[in-house]
Structure 1
Amino acid sequence: MRRTPLLAVVASLLTGVLAAPAAHSAPAAFAHPGVTVSGSQLDFARAQVQAGAQPWKSAFDQMKASKYADLNRTPKPRATVECGSYSNPNHGCTDEREDAIAAYTDALAWYITRDARYAQKAIQIMDAWSGTITAHTNSNAPLQTGWAGSSWPKAAEIIKYTYTGGWADQNRFSTMLRDVYLPVVIKGSNSNGNWELSMTEAAVGISVFLDDKASYDTAMARFRTRAAAYVYLASDGDLPKTVPGQNLNTRDKIVSYWQGQSTFVTGLTQETCRDLTHTGYGISAISHIAETSRIQGQDLYGTDVGERLRQALGFQSKYQLGTAVPDWLCGGSLKLGLGPVTEVGYNALHNRRGVAMTNTQTLTLANRPAGTDNLFVAWETLTHGDNPN
């Protein structure tokens, strides 16, 4: 493999570190519900389900039949959630993530059915945690905070702004997000890109729910930098962009950070050669943040964010569909398992903007109805599948 001349390496590194993302400012007034899914998107999904149209009806039936929509579910809050590497030890980690997904599931079920029992169940779950949790600990604490913190505001937005039956402890829930989650996720992470992207997704969503413009701006600025450093485009130069503070100041350090991959091609992500499951976490967070930004008035899909998302989805989808892995890519072997992460980006880029996405389209349609990854992705065929809003 030809080595890049030293001056080119230095120039590429400087470009990657110093290139500032475009300015982003919070809207004058936040749109609600406005975290990943908007009111008009919810209305469209509801209308399709009520009409028995596909794929939305089957997506709704899948969601309603899941354990997350069980009206007999008992939340399992803890004061301290302890999560080690790969959630070992797992003291409340799965319980917290799944209760947060359940609250969001119930909120969606409420909106589509108008059965108040689902809204009340979502409130019960959110109240149980807001009255209990005080901290996350151990090595996976930042990521755990990001995962659960991505689902909570999606649930709370729907309940707060569409359910009129009352939520007495709403302010306590806001305090939980402000005091337990936001201080952790707003700081970001210098770990693998999916960590910081998931944490940033949580920070963006929480900021919208709290109407916190300053935190929103901070999180969005970090997002633009991290997204650019997570997905490579040929226009980036010989080397991927980097994040300030990571000290990735040599080619060897960058190759090591990119899981030993030394050939950089458009659509490759920082974690492709780790596995497509973790790559999917990062891609999903990018799509969720871009969707929230669009709902809040700034459409990033027409910027480099959209191009990186399009290329990342297409590159990973191709191999997830069975294309042979060339020797130069990850030593000729990929660990598959992309997950249900394509609907939001595919809908935004292909359906709304008319961009060709052949591989992503094939995978998206094959995977419908997309379910949940049991971490922070849930029911996106229902909410975003071919949704024009």
Structure 2
Amino acid sequence: MADPDRVPPPRTARRRLARLVAAAATAVTVVCAALSSVPAIARAGSSASYPLPVIERVTSAAGFVHPGLAVSASSLERARTQVKQGAEPWASYYAAMNVTSYASATFSSRNAGPVPGRPANAAFNSQGVQSLFIDDAFRAYTQAIQYVVTGDPAYRENGLRLLRIWSHMDPAKYAYYPDAHIHSGPPLMRMLAAAELLRYTSVNPGSSGYDLRWTADDTANLTANLIVPMTQTFLYRNRNFMNQHSYSLVGAMAGYIFTDNLPRYREAVEWFSVNATNPDDHTNGALTKVMPVIARNDPRNPYGRTFVQLQEMGRDQAHAWDDVTMLTQLARVIDVQGTRLDPVRGTVSTRRDAVSPYVFGDFRLLRGSEPFFAFMTGKDVPWIDTTQRGGVLSQAYRGRLFDPTNELYHVYKELLGPALAALAPRITEVATKQDGGPRFFWGTSAYNYWNSNPDFNPDAWLSFPASAASPPTQQDALVQAETRTVPITAGASVRREDGRGFVRLNARPAGTTIAVRTLLYADRGSYSPVGVLIRTNGTATLQLRKERTLAPYHSLTLPDTHGRWRYITYDMNTSKLRGSAGGDNLAYYTIVGSPGVSVDVDAVNLQAKTQLTPPQFPQGSDVRLLAVAGEPLAAALPATDQEPLAYTAGTTLPAGARVDAGTGTLSWTPTAAQRGEYRTFVVASDPATDAVLRVRLTVSTDRRAAIAAALEGYDAAAEYVSATKAEVERTVADAEAHAGSADSATFAADLAAVQAAVANLEKLTPAMADDGSFDYWGRATSATITPVALGNMLDGDFNTFSGDLRAPAVIDYGAGFRIRADAFGLQARYNFANRSQGANVYGSNDGRTWTLLTSRETTDTSARGFALERIPVRDEAESQSFRFLKLQVDHPGVPTDPAYPGISSFSEFRIYGQRVEMSTALNGSLRIYDGHGGFTNLAEVQFLHVP
């Protein structure tokens, strides 16, 4: 019976695949002759040159091809020839690799002991040893590649010495440690890839006397002391959670290939493809399970069409990226061996209908990766929670995407040709529009693709097809709109003019939107400006959003730049943005304006704080000026800057008003006929940057009406923090006292004081719009929960959370306030209900004595869609109020990972009750929670007591 989930590949792809299979069937075992026709390549900084090593092709009795780990012999030879000839992109990738410390001809090992060829630490039982292994494995792989490319025996010696150190670990001293199954697999694959290259290449004699031959003892030691104990202790498991499965499998599979272990290899191939013996399809990390087909007629599918999704995109995009890269690495390892799979069961097969790992599951790797790339570049994609527990696509790390080797693109371009662009438009776009090659900028920092980070596949350049194109060169850290944006609505297009690429957005009242990716901001703990280089032919509004459906977190007025390129800036300071609203790496830029206005976006400057001197208005982006008909108004609106500023006014400045170009002072004497509201703006400009202050002008008939206008936003019936309400009453009294006699300047100052007092009003218990609970963001602090995370606990998103807490979380609501609650709302982080299960809320006024407030503990809400639990306060505590609240897990659930016990986290924490001010004196000590279970006395102060 035909598999209903299978989608036939394009006819051209089937023909191309048939040709590839036929070609593979004609391959025979050969030992390559010496490459005497290829000139030698000298080591950098050395005048010596060496014959290029012969790559000895061997097919073992078990059918494995060697060298055949991560890269084939033919790809190695092509890469070496292309590097020697200076051909791109190989030359650039080799050059970038060659400048890293891993490529140094000077021997280095992180685990070398005093006895040559023996480790300093022979026990593999900690993350500390793992870090040594990761570094040495990458160095060994680099040295082996250098030897193949240059023939320099120094590189061979370095690689062998590293391998021999790690091949003498003590197999009796392997012990599982936290995350060993995740982070030991990729370095084992790289260590064995190095061994493959040195084992199956000819030896160029060295001058040090070191034995450069690969011996039977090397194979035996590496197998007995590294491969077998590491695999059995850390890697041989098929029920790891999602991407963790691929991380362990890539190391285990490398070991099977190196040791010619055919039964285990066959098992591993099925674990890569289907992993049918893992009963949990929702967390299975195999290709077809972590990238399942969601059928059109699936009752859970609301989209009305069949699609492939990447399961882990519901967790966060960093882990989803791991799925893509590690499955791609595994597919390459399998494909290098020429292994073909049963098209349905995913087992090793030699039948005529068997397919490569890249084609298996009807191009499942491609079809499952495409929505990830689409979502990461700002597109909407279909996705469902297959567990039906309320999961949604996570915004975490969205837009944090780079692909310096474009492996998926190169593989499928060879397989599918022009059909790839239609099947995977976003993968194609990222690969063909990338603006950084092997050396690029990651946020504001220069980055080299060749490093030991296991989360991507830097060695893919060794397998580039002959058709690979030259890589681009990124000159600076600017995020170029031409290459790092995609249009989301109509009205946006890429243009080129005088050698400059940019995106033109034609303004519309409904908005024209692009998505900007790879926004890795600098330090956001304080003022953190981001510059956008624009050119306009009229006035428009730029709105910035994290998600298309959310309200903007910034809305900027863009002035008419009259065709000049100018910077405008916005601030990404976390104290100005609630929760993670501005914390992800993708932003939607929407241009709202009149038809006929165009806004050209050239680049986003993440280094604006050091490269620009943006003018700053002390009022922020908006100010309201109050005037009285017939009285002169002179409002000073200067901005601050390190450079001279010039000021201009918007085109909507009312008749008779003017802005001084040198000082920014707005002057106006409105007439009685000009009563009402006016909106305009003032632009402060330095040589590179514009800042816009939106101005709302209100003209009142008389001074009493102006005082009333100044009170806009004040609700006499609302309950405010007493000091802020008292300041309003004081300033109003002053203004009223002067209304009949003061001169215009004095009365204008009175109005400004009333406005400032109203702006500083603070409701005693501001309410959240979604459930009426106390909005404590900006009104509470914690030593264990960051300000951003406190915002996460009020954002209604169960994918954002408090962070992983190792101790109870204490929240301080301030020396002048206490909280009296009727109930608390606690919600688990999506997929981690066990980490908030068994929690209670406690209250305290001194940080030492705690009162249990909640009437019951939280529960495991996994089966209820991780719903928020509203838990009443105990009857005996309802009338009490507290300065400190503590979230504490008293009876934890089963740990997500037994290696990490004691982690707690909360997605939402809501307070249903009131904040109260203290009213009677009580002496005490101000004590601040230190984050380690204790409190620190800071000063003797006077507390006020609420009965």
Q: Same fold (TM over 0.5)?
A: yes
After TM superposition, the structure 1 = structure 2 runs for residues 76-87 of structure 1, keeping only pairs within 5 Å, are 76-77=110-111, 78-83=121-126
The residue number in structure 2 matching 1:191 is 240
2:97 paired with 1:63: yes
| Residue deviations 1:18-51 (CA, integer Å, cap 9, x gap) | xxxxxxxx99521111112100011111111111
2:307 paired with 1:270: no
Give 4+ residue runs of structure 1 displaced > 6 Å after superposition: 262-265, 324-329
After TM superposition, the structure 1 = structure 2 runs for residues 84-123 of structure 1, keeping only pairs within 5 Å, are 90-123=127-160
The residue number in structure 2 matching 1:352 is 415
The residue number in structure 2 matching 1:335 is 397
Once residues 267 and 27 of structure 1 are traced to their aligned partners in structure 2, the CA distance between those partners, rounded to angstroms, is: 39
The residue number in structure 2 matching 1:139 is 178
2:349 paired with 1:302: no
Conservation of the 8 A alpha-carbon contact between 1:347 and 1:386: yes
Which of the residues 170, 177, 201 maps onto 1:162?
201
The residue number in structure 2 matching 1:200 is 249
Once residues 277 and 132 of structure 1 are traced to their aligned partners in structure 2, the CA distance between those partners, rounded to angstroms, is: 33
The residue number in structure 2 matching 1:229 is 289
| Residue deviations 1:147-170 (CA, integer Å, cap 9, x gap) | 322222211111111142413452
Once residues 426 and 68 of structure 2 are traced to their aligned partners in structure 1, the CA distance between those partners, rounded to angstroms, is: 29
The residue number in structure 1 matching 2:764 is none
Which of the residues 304, 310, 319 maps onto 2:375?
319
Task: Give 1 or 2 for the bigger CA radius of gyration.
Answer: 2
**Structure 1: 5+ residue stretches without partners:** 1-11, 13-25, 84-89, 240-250, 252-261
How far is the alpha carbon of 1:341 from its aligned partner?
7.9
Relative distance call for 1:116 and 1:209 in structure 2 (3 A) is: same
| Residue deviations 1:259-295 (CA, integer Å, cap 9, x gap) | xxx9997343222233333222222222222222222
Conservation of the 8 A alpha-carbon contact between 1:79 and 1:133: yes
Conservation of the 8 A alpha-carbon contact between 1:185 and 1:200: no
Conservation of the 8 A alpha-carbon contact between 2:140 and 2:194: yes
The residue number in structure 1 matching 2:331 is 290
Relative distance call for 1:268 and 1:326 in structure 2 (3 A) is: closer
| Residue deviations 1:310-332 (CA, integer Å, cap 9, x gap) | 12332222233344689989456
Shifted more, 293-302 versus 150-159: the winner is 293-302
Once residues 321 and 385 of structure 1 are traced to their aligned partners in structure 2, the CA distance between those partners, rounded to angstroms, is: 25
Bigger proportion of residues as helix: 1
Relative distance call for 1:185 and 1:104 in structure 2 (3 A) is: same
SS of alignment partner, residue 132 of structure 1: coil
Letter in 2 for 1:233: V
Letter in 1 for 2:122: A
Relative distance call for 1:208 and 1:312 in structure 2 (3 A) is: same
Which of the residues 400, 405, 428 maps onto 1:361?
428
Once residues 416 and 402 of structure 2 are traced to their aligned partners in structure 1, the CA distance between those partners, rounded to angstroms, is: 24
Once residues 305 and 179 of structure 2 are traced to their aligned partners in structure 1, the CA distance between those partners, rounded to angstroms, is: 29
2:105 paired with 1:38: no
Shifted more, 330-339 versus 36-45: the winner is 330-339
2:158 paired with 1:128: no
Cα-Cα RMSD: 3.4
SS of alignment partner, residue 36 of structure 1: coil
The residue number in structure 1 matching 2:268 is 219
Q: TM-score, normalised on structure 2?
A: 0.33
The percentage of aligned residue pairs carrying the same residue is 21
Letter in 2 for 1:313: S
Relative distance call for 1:237 and 1:281 in structure 2 (3 A) is: farther
Conservation of the 8 A alpha-carbon contact between 1:33 and 1:158: yes
Bigger proportion of residues as strand: 2
Conservation of the 8 A alpha-carbon contact between 1:150 and 1:198: no
How far is the alpha carbon of 1:178 from its aligned partner?
3.5
| Residue deviations 1:112-138 (CA, integer Å, cap 9, x gap) | 122221121111111111113542432
Once residues 64 and 367 of structure 2 are traced to their aligned partners in structure 1, the CA distance between those partners, rounded to angstroms, is: 30
Once residues 388 and 170 of structure 1 are traced to their aligned partners in structure 2, the CA distance between those partners, rounded to angstroms, is: 38
Once residues 36 and 204 of structure 1 are traced to their aligned partners in structure 2, the CA distance between those partners, rounded to angstroms, is: 11
Conservation of the 8 A alpha-carbon contact between 2:166 and 2:226: no
Q: Which has the higher contact order (CA 8 A, sep 6+)?
A: 1
Relative distance call for 1:217 and 1:327 in structure 2 (3 A) is: closer
**Structure 2: 5+ residue stretches without partners:** 6-59, 112-120, 204-211, 275-285, 341-355, 385-390, 439-448, 469-947
SS of alignment partner, residue 179 of structure 1: helix
How far is the alpha carbon of 1:376 from its aligned partner?
6.3
SS of alignment partner, residue 318 of structure 2: helix
